[in-house]
Structure 1
Amino acid sequence: MQLNTNILFLIALISMLSTIDAEVRLDSIEYARDWNIIQKNKIEIKWTTYNGYPICQTSSVLPFSIQSISSIIEDVKNYPRVFRRIHKTNILEKNIIHVMLDMPFLLADRDYVIKYEKSKIQNEWEFTFKAVQHKKAPLDKDYIRLINAAGKWKLISIDDNQTSVSYIWNGELLGDFPNFALERAWKTQGNEIIHWINDALD
């Protein structure tokens, strides 16, 4: 009996560790190499393969304070007013939200459930998130669930009226999205995100 109990415990432990290893962790993404440049002008967009996932980054300098930009990013309830591909957000509990996305015509809509954290050190501010499961957000047949969603906003204050803005995200779209169109989608998303923040504060 004791042997069976030990075996069950070992199986549960292995399963738990496998789940942890499967998470998309972006802790050290700044040290990633071999980035593929998609666009390089006022908005720089690039991507790389990191831990088996296509990780994208868009970055720019915006003429607003770090406080004004961070207030937009942390106001998750009002994301649909700023980020126009998001048509709904549900706050499930503290720091956990369900996000629903409109996709272009003929493509199934996407959704994801994430847990986020915020941190600030001197003139830097970060907002990181990763996918979680939640009983209040069951799978919906009308959406493709992005089970590996993960990302990070990083803001660095240059002065009172200028802030370096970087957004990193897992570019995996799953479902019926064709691989040949991914880079074009990442370019579109990278530009839209920066423009929408700029428009919200302009």
Structure 2
Amino acid sequence: MKKEILMVCAVAMFATAQAKTAEQTLSINKNNIKVWTYQNSQNPVFSYRAETVYDTSIEKAVSLVLDVENAVKWVPYMGSVKVLSRDDKKGEFLLYMVLDFPFPLKDRDLVVQGKIQKNAQGIISIKNKAIDKGYAKNPNYVRLNDYQGDWTFQKLANNKVKVSTYGYANPEGSIPLKFVNLFVEQQPYQMLQKMKTELGKSSSVPVLPEALR
């Protein structure tokens, strides 16, 4: 498996535990994609939960998300992703990401620590969080330190998988709250749409990390 390890995100940003306790609003429901937004009392920035169902195998969906080299093709605002370390046996990895924000906003970067797991029911999860170490700060970027993001993949049939993504991130800097919350609503929707397109292109046989076999 060449340079495979998640992206998250690509700015797939936000905490599952908060999603279970906070009041959620269904912000988008179209093209078989649902996006819920919610807030906690500590932060005015929205978190999100998004889900859809694809007519593909769970292996193929997971492999796409773990394919770092292709992440910039379908993850909105993803400028670049670099694998700093990975352990396929343990399902652990460390990434450095640059987020390409629209002008005049300054681009963001972050170091992401991730964990891949498969439970007894066959549900695959990818959990990510930002850490404040592992890569030198670049003065050209605003470093994000407060980020959490999860993916889950549930096999519904031989060629059908439910994909969910959750996230939260503090964008740092002086960005209007209205813009940030609009970004939080639209980014997961656009990402899941583009993910469907990428899944339709790929014809290769997926190879998952050893931790998921």
TM-score band w.r.t. shorter chain: 0.7 to 0.9
Relative CO higher for 1 or 2, CA cutoff 8 Å, sep ≥ 6? 2
What CA distance in whole angstroms lies between the structure 1 residues aligned with 2:14 and 2:96? 20
| AA of the residue aligned to 2:123 | E
* 1:119 alignment partner, one of 117, 120, 124: 117
* TM-score of the aligned structures, taking structure 1 as reference length: 0.79
Match of 2:35 in 1: 45
Q: 2:47 touches 2:168 (CA, 8 Å); kept in 1?
A: yes
* 1:88 alignment partner, one of 55, 68, 80: 80
What CA distance in whole angstroms lies between the structure 2 residues aligned with 1:147 and 1:113? 8
What are the residue-to-residue correspondences of 1:97-136 with 2, within 5 Å? Answer: 97-121=95-119, 122-135=121-134
What CA distance in whole angstroms lies between the structure 2 residues aligned with 1:125 and 1:51? 30
Unaligned ranges ≥5, structure 1: 1-23
Computed over aligned residues only, the root mean square deviation of the Cα atoms, in angstroms, reads 2.1
Unaligned ranges ≥5, structure 2: 1-12, 87-92, 201-213
Q: 1:185 to 1:84 in 2, by over 3 A?
A: closer
Q: 1:107 to 1:71 in 2, by over 3 A?
A: same
Match of 2:189 in 1: 191
* TM-score of the aligned structures, taking structure 2 as reference length: 0.76
Per the TM alignment, residue 130 of structure 1 is displaced from its structure 2 partner at its CA by 0.6
What CA distance in whole angstroms lies between the structure 1 residues aligned with 2:56 and 2:184? 25
Is the aligned partner of 1:66 residue 2:64?
A: no
| AA of the residue aligned to 1:132 | I
Q: Per-residue displacement from partner, 1:57-115 (whole Å, max 9, x unpaired)?
A: 11111121111000011223432233252121121122001011111121111111111
- Give aligned pairs, total: 178
Q: 2:16 touches 2:167 (CA, 8 Å); kept in 1?
A: no
Which protein is bigger by CA-based radius of gyration?
1
| AA of the residue aligned to 1:129 | N
